[in-house]
Amino acid sequence: MNLLLTGRFGDAERDQWRALLTQAMPKHHLVTSGELFDRMRIEVAIVANPAPHSLDGLPRLRLIQSLWAGVDRLFDDPTLPPDVPIARMVDPALTAAMSETALWAVLSLHRGFFVYQRQQRNAVWRQLPQRRADELPVTLLGLGTLGLACARALAQQGYRVTAWTRDGSPRDVPAGVVHVHGDDALWPCLNGTAIVVNLLPLTPATRGLLDARFFGALPRGAALVNLARGAHVVEADLRAALGSGRLGHAVLDVFDSEPLDPKHPFWRHPKVTVLPHVAALTDPRSATAVVASNVRALAEGQPIAHLVDRTRGY
Ligand code: NAP
């Protein structure tokens, strides 16, 4: 089959993907968007936030395989072929990385390590009260591939986790995790929450969900860990909530506009921890096997794994 690799890569990153994908799929022919190729022949597009129009005019396209877990940027392209299945990246290495980040952030908030970091800068020796993990209710927004792994890791650590999802379809909820679903179920769990961890996909229903009303429903001093997408948060409302003390701290891995402007106030905000969108990176070494498996499934007429439901947007 003829495969097209297209996305917003640096040259070295693109070359690494090309080498690993070619090695994983020696029987197929891979081209990259920078070279001359016959658009009539492409059957699979392997994409990483491709520029708008990249997938237009590929009449034989049968699969769009994303290298990233989130596919919201794809839907911003009005020329996205409407009937071609889209698969997103689900890779155990990425899932493990997200659990590590969520656990680090929640542990650091719980034990006051961000406060101690601030204190060190000012040579302040002050001990905070030590709380047990089971004294900190954690609300997890989303219990999908990544949310589920994070819920499991947090519950194993002793946190009281409530996970919120869109629908109530049956699922294997980890021991110690309470599952709630639907719009009405969100608000009651927020008022007892110490830490909110966001792992929702960005869709029309979730964009801007974390706004003044959301922050106002949390107890004073609660913390936010946003590992999903910047546009879930209304930035002005977040800043106001941090300013008023409604929120005690925010760990932010994702932002409305990335990279975060060097002049952005979050960089120097004492109650904000900034990460440069690294909560869980796709690891090309393992992700190429995921792509190869889906290309093989397509070639053999088998079901494609991790398909996106276009009507839900994730
Ligand atoms: P997923 O498997 O698609 O799961 C999404 C979860 O969100 C599901 O539990 C879903 O509920 C829930 N959800 C969706 N819309 C909702 C709504 N309107 N109300 C309530 N719950 C809703 O996604 P995932 O693989 O866990 O990834 C989540 C997100 O993480 C990605 O979309 C991406 O934006 C982000 N991400 C960030 C990084 C990073 O480095 N920062 C890396 C990878 C991914 P149901 O279960 O009921 O469908």
Q: What is the pLDDT of residues 269-306, one digit of tens each?
A: 999 999 999 999 999 999 999 999 999 999 999 999 99
Contact assessment for residue 35 and residue 77, using Cβ atoms and an 8 Å cutoff = no
Instruction: Annotate 162-188 with b (16+ C-beta within 10 A) or e (fewer).
Output: bbbbbeeeeeebbebbebbeeeeebee
* All domains in the chain, ordered by first residue: 2-91+282-300 (3.40.50.720), 92-274 (3.40.50.720)
> Best substitution site from 161, 164, 180, 199 to test ligand 1's pocket, by max atoms within 8 Å of Cβ?
199
Cis peptide before 174 (omega within 30 of 0): no
> In this predicted model, what pLDDT tens digit does every residue of 50-86 receive, in sequence order?
999 999 999 999 999 999 999 999 999 999 999 999 9
Out of 41, 111, 181, 277, which one is annotated catalytic? 277
Calculate the dihedral angle through the C-alpha atoms of 249, 255, 257, 258, rounding to the nearest 10 degrees: 110
Q: What percentage of the chain reaches a pLDDT higher than 90?
A: 99
Ligand 1 atom nearest 90 alpha carbon: 25
Q: What is the pLDDT of residue 34?
A: 85
> What is the pLDDT at residue 58?
97
Assess whether pLDDT exceeds 90 at residue 249: yes
| pTM, entire model | 0.97
Decide if 249 is catalytic: no
**Is 88 among the residues known to form the active site?**
no
Say if strands 222-226 and 247-252 run parallel, antiparallel, or are unpaired: parallel
Q: How many angstroms is it from 130 CA to the middle of ligand 1?
A: 32
State if residue 205 touches ligand 1 by the CB under 6 angstroms criterion: yes
Residue 22 backbone phi and psi in degrees, to 5: -65, -40
Per-residue pLDDT at 296: 98
- Which helix (H) or strand (E) is 273 found in, with range? strand 272-274
Please report, rounded to a whole number, the percentage of residues in the chain having pLDDT higher than 70: 100
Query: What's the CA-to-centroid distance between 56 and ligand 1, angstroms?
Result: 27
Ligand 1 atom with the smallest distance to the CA of 205 is: 18
